[in-house]
Structures are given as structure tokens and as C-alpha cells.
Amino acid sequence: MGTLTGRVALVTGAAQGIGHAVATVLAEAGAEVTATDVRDQSDLGDHIRTRSHDVTDAARWAEIVDEIEADHGRLDILVNNAGVSGYDDLHELSLAEWNRIIAINQTGVLIGMQQALRLMRPQRSGAIVNISSICGATSVKGVAAYHASKHAVLTMTKNAAVSYAREGIRANAVLPGWIRTPLTLGQTDELNGAFLDATPMGVGGEPVDVARAVSFLVSDDARFITGVDLPVDGGYLAR
């Protein structure tokens, strides 16, 4: 029997990479999962249903959460994973690119937490995990908008943690390092090499490494943990 049996979960950005692994691991642990993405999703197996979802669309968020409420009567877990990167230096960053990244990585997290809290607060329970990045806690050359958005996710998560702790709701952030996903594999060899060279373990991680950390944080094993920033980064931030 899984540790999340009977829990109802919503995972964004689940078509590939970390989100796909999170949805799969939560379902394997017993949760009923709604997995969303703007991309087409393959069949993820038992206990996972897929929905098309642009996380910048507040009305679509409301529709999905309403459907979860109608079908299950509750929402126990939200994993805000959907995100995009951008590689522009600050002096070259266009306002359009800034707005695109902030809308998905930061505003999408805000709307997601607002919609989840709509169900979690009346039931006085719930666990939120927001996927940030090591780039939310430290700096590398370029990626100015990505840095800003992922640092904002950390502070938004802490705000949620302290604001709703007395209502039985926990909020934590996970900070992946270099993880083998379509996003990182699409980066330049130079950038990927720089990240891996700076990782004390000397290797990158796999999406399941992040998914297992998320599964722990939303489980009862982490019942006294809220407001933390958990790196899954092979020691990158420990340098």
C-alpha cells in the first residue's frame, strides 16, 4: 500500500521531465493524480488523468480545480512544476521575454496556490510543493528572468507556509540542480558542462530523484516540515 493512498493530487507541467516523473511517483504511492500540460500527454497509466492546461490562464485553473472537487470532493496535493527557461543576459532581455517567463514560472504558481487553497482551506489540510531551481538561490551568467522567477517562487512558498500553517496546510519548495530532462538536454554543451563541473557529485540527476523528494514532502512523513527549500542538486548549493 502506498503512503499516499486516498490522496488527490494535481501536478502541472507533467508531459515530460520532472513533472512526468512526479505524477508517476505520486500515483505509484497511491494518489489519484490529475496531470496537466500545454503539450499533448501520453497515457500515464492507472490513477492518472491528463488535462490540457496553460498555467497562465486563471479561468482554466478554476475549471480544473472545479472538476477535481466535483469528482473527488477534495484536493490534498498541489505540485506547481510547469516552467520555462530563458537564457538572455540582463542587458539583452526584452520586456516580452521577461513577461513570458514571469507569467509561467511565477504568476502560474500564484494562481495555482490560490486555486488549491480554495479547496484546502475549508478541509483544513493540504500539501503544496513548488518547483524552484538552484538558480532561485544562486546566480549564473545570463538567465536573468529565470533567476527572478525562481527566486520569487521561494519567497512565495515561505509566505504560504507561514500564512496557512494553522489551517493544516504545508508549503515547501524543491530546488533541482542539473537534471536530465528535455530542457537541459536542449541547452548548450558549454552551459551543461559548467553546471556539471560545479556539482560536487560530478554527475547530473534524473527526474525521479526530484519526484521522490516531492513524494516525501507531500506525505505524512513530512507532517512537521513546512517552509523549507530542499535542494536536489548533487551538492551544488553546498559549495
Could you report the per-residue pLDDT of 38-80, keeping only the tens digit for each? 998 877 778 999 999 999 999 999 999 999 999 999 999 999 9
C-alpha cell of residue 45: 497509466
| Per-residue pLDDT, 2 | 66
Residue 17 zone, left/alpha/beta (φ > 0; ψ -120 to 50; rest):
left
| Per-residue pLDDT, 1 | 44
The count of C-alpha atoms lying within 13 angstroms of the C-alpha of 114, restricted to the half-sphere facing its C-beta, is 14
Burial of 180 (0-12, 13-18, 19+ CB in 10 A): middle
| Per-residue pLDDT, 139 | 87
The closest of 174, 162, 132, 176 to 226, measured between CA atoms, is 162
Query: From the CA atom positions of the chain, what is the Rg in Å?
Result: 17
Q: Which fold has domain 8-230?
A: Rossmann fold (3.40.50)
C-alpha cell of residue 92: 539583452
Q: In what order do the strands lie in the sheet with 48-52?
A: 48-52, 32-37, 8-12, 77-80, 126-131, 169-176, 229-232
Distance of CA 140 to the CA centre of its chain: 21
Q: What angle do CA 106, 208, 109 make, to 5 degrees?
A: 10
The closest of 153, 59, 78, 67 to 121, measured between CA atoms, is 78
Given a contact cutoff of 8 angstroms between Cβ atoms, the answer to whether 79 and 131 are in contact is yes
C-alpha cell of residue 123: 478541509
What residue type is assigned to position 213 of the chain?
Answer: A
- Residue 53 to residues 7, 57, 63, 192, Cα–Cα distance (Å): 21, 8, 10, 29
Distance CA 88, CA 226 (A): 33
| Per-residue pLDDT, 44 | 78
Q: What digits encode the pLDDT tens for the residues 132-148?
A: 999 999 988 889 999 99
Residues noted as catalytic: 146
What is the DSSP code string of 158-224? Answer: HHHHHHHGGGTEEEEEEEE-SB-SHHHHTS-HHHHHHHHHT-TTSS-B-HHHHHHHHHHHTSGGGTT
What are the domain boundaries of the chain?
A: 8-230
Q: E-assigned strands of 23-180? A: 32-37, 48-52, 77-80, 126-131, 169-176
Residue 94 zone, left/alpha/beta (φ > 0; ψ -120 to 50; rest):
beta
Divide the 239 residues of the chain into consecutive groups of 10 and give the mean pLDDT of each group.
88 97 97 96 85 98 98 98 94 98 98 98 98 94 94 98 98 98 90 94 98 98 98 97
Distance CA 18, CA 15 (A): 9
